[in-house]
Amino acid sequence: MDLTGKRIMLIGGAGLVGSHIVDMLTKLPVSEIVVYDNFVRGTRQNLSAAAKSPKVSVVEASMSDRERLRQEMEGMDGVFLLASLWLGECVNNPRSAWEVNVLGTWNVVEACRDLGVQRLVYSSSASVYGNALETPMTEEHPFNNRTTYGATKIANEQMLRAIYEQHGLPYIGYRYMNIYGPRMDYRGTYVSVIMKVLDRIFSGQPPLIYGDGTQMYDFIYVEDVARANILGMQADVADEFFNIGMGTGTTIDELVDMLLELTGSDLKPDYLPQEQSFVTYRIGSVEKAEKLLGFRADTPLLDGLKKVIEWRRSQ
Ligand SMILES: NC(=O)c1ccc[n+]([C@@H]2O[C@H](COP(=O)([O-])OP(=O)(O)OC[C@H]3O[C@@H](n4cnc5c(N)ncnc54)[C@H](O)[C@@H]3O)[C@@H](O)[C@H]2O)c1
């Protein structure tokens, strides 16, 4: 879709990924950018730079409020759906997980269909795969997920496929690997390992590593993810899911070493037994996104982590 003059809504646009997409959209010739967020996790501060643009407006409401959502979505050309309860919240409140993530997504999908929205870019997750059963982990990898969070993402993916089949709603879905960058949540109950390690380093305590540190993940910088979203909105391809990652693995040991080096710390990590069962290996193949969307993440982990540290120090 050509974005010139288009009206774009970001549901969950005040969060980590959404707010970076908003920043990028303000530099494009779209006519209107509406952030629809209930601020359960995102913040007004995340939008402070973008809010200076006259194109940007904010609606504080939940996607669970079906009537309000429909009213605000009237006339939108493109919708980014980023809102979701996060992994830890879904563990603690499985009912809310289904109500918000699945029913809330259905409210958005139904309104897109009824209002003739031209394109929906949906945020799924690499959690749909669970632990890797085969490598490289392509989009054909089985749904080996065992979490409620991942189950809601799988349910939504299936919902989108079905609605495409029945009504042809043009959508694509992104299965993100581990996203990091400025504006990551560092105050909530579920914060990323990067924030936990930085908190320990900044308070002069050894970083804690749960397990043996060999767990390997694919970390992708948030501005790369935002760029992938814009490309996805501009693309013509529909009814497809894509891995969005760097395509390279980093162990927790390596990640902690980088953070120690970048902060100039000589602390040594402490190893503790892994209390919960987590995914221990997840690196996505990035070929499909490159081939069909022309997307390739290009921020090296060290550069991205430097920006996170600068931002965290400024908070
Ligand atoms: N961050 C990651 O590493 C990662 C990895 C895989 C998938 N994802 C998915 O990508 C999407 C964006 O991730 P993020 O890191 O920006 O998440 P985030 O939590 O920072 O942002 C989500 C936003 O949605 C809002 N929200 C939640 N429930 C809502 C509701 N009912 N109505 C309206 N707004 C609501 C929150 O306030 C928040 O601003 C999410 O769907 C997430 O599940 C993220």
In a domain, 138, yes or no: yes
Q: Given this model, what pLDDT does residue 11 score?
A: 98
Domain assignment present for 214: no
pLDDT in tens, the chain (315 residues): 999 999 999 999 999 999 999 999 999 999 999 999 999 999 999 999 999 999 999 999 999 999 999 999 999 999 999 999 998 899 999 999 999 999 999 999 999 999 999 999 999 999 999 998 988 899 999 999 999 999 999 999 999 999 999 999 999 999 999 999 999 988 776 778 999 999 999 999 999 999 999 999 999 999 999 999 999 999 999 999 999 999 999 999 999 999 999 999 999 999 999 877 778 899 999 999 999 999 999 999 999 999 999 999 998
Nearest CA to ligand 1 atom 31: 62
Q: What CATH code is carried by the domain that includes residue 31?
A: 3.40.50.720
How many angstroms separate the first and last alpha carbons of the chain? Answer: 37
pTM score, two decimals? Answer: 0.97
Residue 141 domain flag: yes
Q: Which domain holds residue 240?
A: 7-179+219-245+283-298
> Would 266 be classed as within a structural domain?
no
State the distance from the centre of ligand 1 to the C-alpha of 214, rounded, in angstroms: 27
Cα separation, 128 vs 152, in Å, equals: 9
- Name the residue of 36, 41, 66 whose CB sits within 8 Å of the most ligand 1 atoms, as the mutation to test its pocket: 41
Distance 309 CA to ligand 1 centre (A): 22
| Whether residue 136 has a cis bond before it, omega within 30° of 0 | yes
In ligand 1, the atom with minimum distance to the C-alpha of 104 is: 31
Give the distance (Å) from ligand 1 centre to CA of residue 264.
Answer: 32
Q: Is the CB of 107 under 6 A from ligand 1?
A: no
DSSP 256: H
Q: What is the pLDDT of residue 279?
A: 84
CB atoms within 10 A of CB 307: 16
Note whether residue 195 is domain-resident: no
268 is a domain residue: no
Look at residue 113 in the predicted model and tell me its pLDDT: 97
* Number of folded domains that form the chain: 1
- Residue 211 inside a domain? The answer is no
**pLDDT number for residue 275:** 73
Helix ranges restricted to H, the chain? 16-26, 66-73, 87-92, 94-96, 104-115, 148-167, 193-202, 222-234, 252-262, 287-293, 301-314
Q: Is residue 201 part of a domain?
A: no
Ligand 1 neighbour 119 (Cβ under 6 A): no
pLDDT at 278 (0 to 100): 77
Confirm or reject: Cβ of 9 under 6 Å from ligand 1: no
For residue 147, the surrounding DSSP H or E stretch is none
CA distances to 22, 210, 234 from 186, rounded to whole Å, are 21, 19, 32
Ligand 1 touching residue 19 (CB < 6 A) = no
Ligand 1 neighbour 21 (Cβ under 6 A): no
The SS3 of residue 41 is: coil
pLDDT, residue 189, reads: 65
Is 39 near ligand 1, meaning CB less than 6 Å away? Answer: yes
Whole-number pLDDT of residue 88: 87
Residue 210: the pLDDT is 93
Residues 153/211, Cβ–Cβ less than 8 Å? no
Q: What is the pLDDT of residue 191?
A: 77
Contact between residue 265 and residue 204 where contact means Cβ atoms under 8 Å apart = no
> Torsion angle of alpha carbons 172, 178, 179, 184, nearest 10°?
130
